[in-house]
Amino acid sequence: MATYSINDFRVGLKVMLDGDPCNIVENELVKPGKGQAFNRVKLRNLKTGRVWDRTFRGSENLEGADVTDLDMDFLYTDGEFWHFMDPITFEQHQADKAAVGDAAKWLSEQDRCVITLYNGAPLAVNPPNHVELEVVETDPGLKGDTAQGGTKPATLSTGAVVKVPLFMNQGDVVRVDTRTGEYLGRASKD
Amino acid sequence: MTDWQPSAPLEQLRQRARLYRQVRGFFAEREVLEIEAPVMGAATVTDPFIDSVTAQCGGRPYYLQTSPEFALKRLLAAGAGAIYSLGKVFRDGERGRKHNPEFTLLEWYRPGWDDRQLMREVEALVLSVLPGLTVTYLSYRQWFERHLGLDPHLASAGQLAALARERINIEAGEEDRDFWLDLLVTHELEGTLGPGLTFVYDYPASQAALARLDTDAQGQTVARRFEAFIGSMELANGYWELTNAPEQRRRFEADLARRRALGLALYPMDEKLLAALDAGLPESAGVALGMDRLLMCLTGARSIAEVLAFDIDRL
């Protein structure tokens, strides 16, 4: 992989730091007119998701990380691995529990996900921002309470639990934002 | 698609033209003469942390000026009196939200003045274009004492390093005091400045650059150098100028030794400047002010690209 000096740093660059692949999420040159130049960088560790600040100076170099993001369709899970397919090359990849992480509770077959490959193997799975899932378990709905009021927990077909309005029933399909876990609305059943 | 369009909205460019008219009016009224300094030079600055852009002309290398300082000082020595220059300067490798390798510097010199008087004139100029800013004067020592609880002139490299490592995530080994001071200023202190105009003065002697050394009220040797900030953004750097030629030569040599140790390009010393100093530079104070940054403050631009017709990415 290429080596990058701090002048090459830009948002989105993937580099190796302390042995882990990282994504640069912020990069700012700070330099007193007469003084030493520093780059204040915010990095996301692509393995752990942790974001942290680090300052680099003029002479430092970092190794590039072999990381690419690809769109892939979720096929199925066998309990141990989650299987995905590249819709263009039909190449299949299996992601383990660590790579799938929280995405697991949102995935249903055919969902188009963004898979981050590190050295050719899935490192992280990003589910679609919005998914539509069926309510499989919740307290019975309250008639007439369609306008406002409280919420109640509902278990969805993938196992995720989200807060839904009181009028929702088992068998209803809900639209959920996977980034926040928030209920967005009722979706029409097909 | 070829990205041919300007990086600045056209209104910003009109604002820039208005600002230049105001600045030229300010100096015309005060009888400071505008000088057009050459952009190319046979020699350049030796500062360890400023890199020059080189150009080829007539088969030999020239350096694009990083500031018009040396040309203006030669004019001062020739008896030009109070002078200013408003023009392009170039610094290699400096690009970011507040940096573009090519930018506009307003630099001026006041024979017979010291840094204290010049700070007042910087204040008057900035307030003439940004009326109503609060103005604060703060010594470099006060800045450190208030926010970090130590005296930057007396603290050891070890003490500064311990403090910096506690607060800043950086890989660094044995570094000199100035490294830690710069790190603390940029990471911890600039952010403490209020939204107005702040002058920080009496810099550490080790950061004198081209300023003269003096003894402050506490008996500490300090550099008669100041910086002006608007909010936390550095705007200007000024000196009560060093006029002593042998001392200037020693500083150039020390800079070059530092550059050599850091593995940086070595530039020729400006012998013509040294000869001018030798012939006699009048006692004077000088300051350089970043016009693009002033314009950013004036227009609320978030990045320097927003005030440039074409930033480095659009050349």
Domain boundaries, chain B: 10-131+252-314
Which has the closest alpha carbon to A55: B164, B177, B263?
A: B164
Which pLDDT score is estimated for A188?
74
In a mutational test of the A interface, the residue from B90, B143, B166, B186 whose CB has the highest number of chain A CBs within 10 Å is: B186
Are the C-beta atoms of residues A21 and A116 closer than 8 Å to each other?
A: no
Q: Residue A136: its pLDDT value, please?
A: 94
Q: Do A32 and B95 touch (CB under 8 A)?
A: no
Amino acid sitting at position A50: R
Q: What is the mean pLDDT of chain B?
A: 95
**Cβ within 8 Å, pair B97-A29:** yes
- B30-73 pLDDT per residue, tens: 999 999 999 999 999 999 999 999 999 999 999 999 999 999 99
DSSP-based three-state secondary structure for B58: coil
Contact B182 A36 (CB under 8 A): yes
Does the pLDDT value for residue A48 go beyond 70? yes
Cβ atoms of residues B104 and B292 within 8 Å: yes
Query: Measured between CA atoms, how close is B292 to chain A, in angstroms?
Result: 14
CA-only gyration radius of chain B, Å: 20
Residues of chain A whose C-beta is under 8 A from some C-beta in B?
7, 27-38, 40, 52-60
- The pLDDT of residue A57: 86
Can you give the length of chain B in residues? 315
Alpha carbon distance B127, B23 (integer Å): 11
- Give chain A's radius of gyration (CA, Å): 22
pLDDT of residue A190: 56
CB A147 within 8 A of CB A159: no
Using the structure block, give the residue that is written with the tokens 């000026």: B65
Write down the mean pLDDT value for chain A.
89
> pLDDT tens digit string along A23-42?
999 999 998 878 888 999 99
Query: What is the pLDDT at residue B93?
Result: 86
Q: How confident is the model at residue A147 (pLDDT cuts 50, 70, 90)?
A: low
* CATH superfamily of the B10-131+252-314 domain: Bira Bifunctional Protein; Domain 2 (3.30.930.10)
pLDDT at residue number A148? 61
In this predicted structure, what is the pLDDT of residue B288? 98
ipTM, 2 dp = 0.86
Buried b (16+ CB within 10 A) or exposed e, A37-74: bbbbbbbbebbeeeeeebbbbbeeebeebebeebebbb
Collapse the DSSP code of B133 into the 3-class scheme (helix H, G, I; strand E, B; otherwise coil) and give the result. Answer: coil
Contact B277, B76 (CB under 8 A): no
Dist CA A38 CA A58 (whole Å): 6
Tell me how far apart the alpha carbons of residues B225 and B211 are, in angstroms, rounded to a whole number: 6
Crossing angle of the two packed helices B245-261 and B271-280, in degrees rounded to 10:
150
A31 contacts in B (CB within 8 Å)?
Answer: 49, 94, 99, 186
Sequence-distant contacts of A26-30: CB under 8 A, at least 24 apart: A27/B96, A28/B96, A28/B97, A29/B94, A29/B95, A29/B96, A29/B97, A29/B98, A29/B99, A30/B186, A30/B187, A30/B190
| Nearby residues of B261 by Cβ (< 8 Å), 6 or more positions away | none
Which portions of chain B are predicted below pLDDT 50? none
Give me A134's structure tokens: 């069926």
Q: Is residue A146 pLDDT above 60, yes or no?
A: no
What is the CA angle B277-B260-B53, rounded to 5?
A: 70
Cβ–Cβ gap A56/B170 under 8 Å: yes
Check CB contact under 8 Å for A56 and B185: no
